[in-house]
A and B are shown apart, each in its own frame.
Chain A
Amino acid sequence: QVQLVQSGAEVKKPGASVLVSCMSSGYTFTNYYLHWVRLAPGRGLEWMGVFNPAIGETSSAQRFRGRVTMTRDTSAGAVMELSNLRSEDTAIYFCARSGSIYGAFDIWGQGTLVNVSS
């Protein structure tokens, strides 16, 4: 079964960093791009960036540049790190795959709630 499984919920303080992992199964991990998207209260869905597991290349949205890092951590998994957290980063974070860098997202992870609170 093709799926993406994400790590569990996190509670972080402002200024800290958070790591969210995304583990694939049922397909060849390096054949698809992996995107990170978040759903924040009052701000809807925001695309954060994309990671090419085959070559390790990344591209991120302007508003997250300098704060987001996307890497591969296993043969079938990836990690997104968001640093310098603020309260506005409280959101559900999703990983999702696409067959091409500009393709639709056909498989999504279940989401990871990150709560940033002092």
Chain B
Amino acid sequence: DIQMTQSPPTLSASIGDRVTITCRASQSISNWLAWYQFKPGKPPQLLMYKASTLESGVPSRFSGSGFGTQFTLTISSLQPEDSATYYCQQYNTHVFGQGTKVEVK
């Protein structure tokens, strides 16, 4: 079974900082990777699919990259509303990473 490993588990950064979250697959998944943002009490939001395609309506400060086994989600300039937990997902097998909780200082 494919495993998805996210890092770091938590991170704390200041407004305006550049933040990067990494997701590693245990075997090649081409670019079948999505990123989601989870906030308590709200429906989760799709941010990125096919590793680097920005979902409509998502701010352009979010970007994704990677292919094969190594992927990243980058927030170019962290904003207060970005405080959330972020998950990667290999959506051929629907396996999720363990999540990264982002705190905005």
Residues of A within 8 A of B (CB): 3-4, 35, 37, 39, 44-47, 50, 61, 94, 96, 98, 102-111
Contacts and interface: CB of A to CB of B under 8 A. Distances in A.
B44 A103 contact: no
Interface of B: 32, 34, 36, 38, 41-46, 49-50, 55, 87, 89, 91-92, 94-99
B94 A35 contact: yes
25 contacts: A4-B43, A39-B38, A45-B89, A46-B96, A47-B94, A47-B96, A50-B94, A61-B94, A94-B43, A94-B44, A96-B44, A98-B91, A102-B32, A104-B34, A104-B50, A104-B91, A105-B36, A105-B44, A105-B46, A105-B89, A107-B43, A107-B46, A108-B44, A109-B43, A110-B43
Contact of B43 (A45, A61, A103, A111): A111
Contacts of A103: 49, 91
Given A4-B43, A104-B46, A109-B43, 15 more contacts: A44-B96, A47-B95, A47-B96, A61-B94, A94-B43, A94-B44, A98-B91, A104-B50, A104-B89, A104-B91, A106-B46, A107-B46, A108-B43, A108-B44, A111-B43
